[in-house]
Amino acid sequence: MQLLDLTLPTPEENLALDEALLDAAEAAGEPREVLRLWEPAAPMAVVGRSSRIDREIHPDACRQLGVPVLRRISGGAAVLGGPGCLMYALVLSCQRRPTLRRVDQAHRFVLGTMAKALARRVPGVCCQGISDLALEGQKFSGNSVRCKRDHLLYHGTLLYDYPLDLIGRCLAMPPHQPDYRDGREHGAFVRNLPLSAGTIRRALIDAWQARELLEAWPQQQTARLAVEKYASAAWNDE
């Protein structure tokens, strides 16, 4: 697996790069797998592909706080990123790993691998709900998936030093909740993982054996998507 540890200057570019990596793998005509790691320079809210912003976001609070609201290509509910939240993206080959063509198996495989790697550093890390990682019943990682013909994009958040009060100020209660949440508000449900960003990075790189650096990432496609899609009100506000 190739490794790309790269944060671009804007939220739009960073979301675009995840999509561009998936598109590049599909266009290659052969299996390609990449682990990307990045961390936003400022808070950002990201809703799922089919999310209704008025149900999942407090837009007035986001505007007052200067938190942009963008839409990603994968499903799931709204998340917040920013300093103190390591973001990751995996592009995986369904030709190499045929079971990943089933979304439930993709969740199980990716989150199982992540949980095992992190539990070596913090015992008790486990998978919860459909697509969460949790510790002692509190969520620190939300994840989602986008499938194409021969590859999928699996990406998510890893809170380690995030201002948790910001989550309740910017995000509404999600319309669909896992049973283990038990109706808890964000402040009681979400937590930081007690590891440094460097330790989490090393754990993920080791878990996915991402030893080869990806030198030539899809810069032109990323720039095009950032402008034409992720900076577009037609995409973000739909």
- Residue (of 183, 201, 171, 226) closest to 54 by Cα position: 171
pLDDT at 111 over 80: yes
- Give the pLDDT mean for 139-168: 97
Residue 54: predicted pLDDT:
87
Report the domain count for the chain. 1
CATH number, position 125: 3.30.930.10
DSSP codes joined into one string, 214-236? --S--HHHHHHHIIIIIT-HHHH
- What would the two tokens of residue 133 be? 């990682």
Digit-coded pLDDT (tens) for 168-223: 999 999 988 999 999 999 999 999 999 999 999 999 999 999 999 999 999 999 99
Question: Which domain does 151 fall in, by range?
Answer: 2-236
Digit-coded pLDDT (tens) for 48-93: 998 889 899 999 999 999 999 999 999 989 999 999 999 999 999 9
Its sign, for the CA torsion 88, 154, 202, 225, is negative
Residue 51: predicted pLDDT:
86
CA distances from 93 to 24, 99, 102, 188 (A): 12, 10, 13, 37
How many Cα atoms sit within 13 Å of 58 on the Cβ side?
14
209 CB burial (10 A radius; 0-12, 13-18, 19+): exposed
Residue 177: predicted pLDDT:
92
